[in-house]
Amino acid sequence: MTKSPLLYVTGYRDRHQKIRWRFRRKGYAVHYFKSPYGSKEFEREYAACLQNDPQPIAGRKLIPGSVSDVISRYYADNAFLDLAPATQKVYRGVLEQFRTAFADTAMRSFDAERISRLMTAMRHKPHAAARLRKLLAQLFVIARRAKLVPHNFDPVRDTRPPKAGSGGYHRWTEDELAAFEAKHPLGTKPRLAFDLLLYGAQRSGDVRLMTHAMIARGRIRLDQSKTNNAVDIPIVEPLALSLAAGPLGASTLIETKYGQPFTEKGFYGMMKDACIDAGLPHCQPHGLRKAAARRCRESGCSDEEGMAITGHKTVKEYRLYAGSDARPEVADAAMRKVMANRSAKVATNGDQTVV
């Protein structure tokens, strides 16, 4: 075998004793080069090999009890099949990345110590770590049920994910909202997307695929793609003005310059570029949903009222979005009530004393 400085490329002699070259990378299809080594054509073949997707797991032999085996079992289980398609996509992304790193590793080898090391290695991505830990717990449920690990083997229970200090995506402030509006006036595509995200209070995945039928008769009506939760909220004046100014697409409200719905990455890229142009490189589109929840909280909306707008299913999740920042005006009002109550008690006690 002849070594090459190119990663995954090795040479070998065929039956005519001529040196041939091949690309071999674990999990990927083997490629035998047709062009002479070092030529431009060879370089193009090599680049194509690096850009190829991994072979489908279904086409590879599974080792019983391995990470690949348990992930495949999870995909076929109701615990996964009952999830919304959008959630399945997110979970697949996490699990396939984990499978790439540990495909043939036995699940029983992931004890609490090893999982803790994984969590520590992901301290810079606390939310991703927490999601991986949650999915590992699901995998061990499957593994225990299939008797691939001992019935009492639950290493995830003895671990903790890294603490998330920032609370996820940045929640836009009023000054940041005003800066974006100043840079992107009505009648521009970024402003239309911005207003739908802010005044519609929905996720980017729902906004980018929103149709004309979903905004009929002055209301936004849709089933959220992530949770299947139904929302029915009024279109307020700022959003109505934005919709009137457009530009509206033919099939979806927001379309690319080619008249097609935005992909997930395309929509994010368009909004991220718009944030940078407005001098807000730290802001992201999902933070507008959090800003909408914050406005509900600051306006004195109850949890139930705010959740009817954002579509959150749990109070805990809604409050995470709405925030828990210091609110001096509420504290002032509360303290006035405390002092008024104290004064009333003093007056009552004084009256009793006089009697």
Last residue of a domain, one of 98, 131, 158: 158
Q: Which domain holds residue 21?
A: 2-51
Asked if residue 179 and residue 148 are part of one domain, the reply reads no
pLDDT in tens, 6-16: 888 888 887 78
Structure tokens at 125: 């991505």
Asked if residue 309 and residue 178 are part of one domain, the reply reads yes
* Residue 9 lies inside a defined structural domain of this protein: yes
Asked if residue 119 and residue 251 are part of one domain, the reply reads no
Asked if residue 265 and residue 184 are part of one domain, the reply reads yes
* Residue 105 lies inside a defined structural domain of this protein: yes
Structure tokens at 259: 């008249």
b/e map 216-245, b = 16+ CB within 10 Å = eeeebebebbbbeeebebebeeebeebbee
Asked if residue 134 and residue 264 are part of one domain, the reply reads no
Structure tokens at 161: 């994910």
Reported as a pLDDT band with limits 50, 70 and 90, residue 47 is: confident
- pLDDT over 90 (residue 299): no
Asked if residue 280 and residue 190 are part of one domain, the reply reads yes
* Residue 206 lies inside a defined structural domain of this protein: yes
The neighbouring-strand residues paired with 230 are 223
User: Considering its fold, how many domains does the chain have in total?
Assistant: 3
- pLDDT over 60 (residue 351): no
Asked if residue 45 and residue 112 are part of one domain, the reply reads no
Closest CA to 220 of 235, 230, 209: 235
**Contact yes or no for 57/94 (Cβ under 8 A):** no
**Diameter of the chain by CA atoms?**
120
Asked if residue 257 and residue 134 are part of one domain, the reply reads no
Structure tokens at 272: 């991220």
* Residue 7 lies inside a defined structural domain of this protein: yes
Q: How far is CA 162 from the centre of its chain?
A: 17
Q: Which residue did the predictor score with more confidence, 153 or 25?
A: 153
> What is the overall mean pLDDT for the chain?
87
Asked if residue 201 and residue 89 are part of one domain, the reply reads no
CATH number at residue 243: 1.10.443.10
Asked if residue 191 and residue 290 are part of one domain, the reply reads yes
Last residue of a domain, one of 112, 134, 158: 158
pLDDT in tens, 146-197: 999 999 999 999 999 888 655 567 889 999 999 999 999 999 999 999 999 9
* Residue 305 lies inside a defined structural domain of this protein: yes
Mean pLDDT of 203-216: 90
Strands 19-23, 219-223: parallel, antiparallel or unpaired by DSSP?
A: unpaired
* Residue 88 lies inside a defined structural domain of this protein: yes
DSSP per position, 43-60: HHHHHHHHHSPPPPGGGS
Asked if residue 13 and residue 75 are part of one domain, the reply reads no
Give backbone dihedrals phi and psi of 12, rounded to 5 degrees, phi first: -150, 165
Mean pLDDT of 289-311: 89
Strands 2-3, 31-32: parallel, antiparallel or unpaired by DSSP?
A: unpaired
- pLDDT over 70 (residue 54): no
* Residue 347 lies inside a defined structural domain of this protein: no
**CA-to-CA distance for 195 and 238, rounded, in angstroms?**
8
- pLDDT over 70 (residue 85): yes
**CA-to-CA distance for 24 and 291, rounded, in angstroms?**
49
Asked if residue 214 and residue 314 are part of one domain, the reply reads yes
Give backbone dihedrals phi and psi of 345, rounded to 5 degrees, phi first: -65, -40
**CA-to-CA distance for 198 and 130, rounded, in angstroms?**
27
* Residue 327 lies inside a defined structural domain of this protein: no
